[in-house]
Amino acid sequence: MECRKESRHSFVCDVDAAPPATHNQEIPRTASAVALNISAGGVCILGELSIERFSVLPCQFHFPEVPVPIPILTQVRWIEPVESREGVFRIGLAFIA
């Protein structure tokens, strides 16, 4: 069942995501990902990020032809492993206004 209200559009750009720190980690690490598609409400990314659903995830989007990364605050809505690639996940992010 499709839950989206807005239509998705194929879109590729690099994304840097900063997952929350864990107990064993003082400084949050930044993980690189790639946006696969985008809508008015969110984006689907692909990366080596295992993160809890509903976590707030600050991201920096590197849009083509924009000279600086654009910071966007997101929330993880869903996450699923990519079966053919160990440690890689498809992640649905909702934009937080």
**How far apart, in whole angstroms, are the C-alpha atoms of residue 51 and residue 17?**
11
Binned at pLDDT 50, 70 and 90, residue 80 comes out as very high
Find out whether 54 and 75 touch, Cβ atoms under 8 Å: yes
d(C-alpha 45, C-alpha 23), whole Å: 25
Q: What is the pLDDT of residue 1?
A: 45
Q: What rounded mean pLDDT belongs to the chain?
A: 88
Q: Is the pLDDT of residue 25 over 80?
A: no
What tokens were used for 8?
């998705």
Instruction: Categorise residue 68: left if φ over 0, alpha if ψ from -120 to 50, beta otherwise.
Output: beta
Distance CA 94, CA 97 (A): 9
pLDDT of 37-77, one tens digit each?
A: 999 999 999 999 888 999 999 999 999 999 999 999 999 99
User: Which residue reads 């107990």 in tokens?
Assistant: 23
The amino acid that residue 1 corresponds to is M
> What is the Cα–Cα distance from 49 to 71, expressed in whole angstroms?
18
What is the value of pTM for the model shown?
0.84
Distance CA 38, CA 8 (A): 5
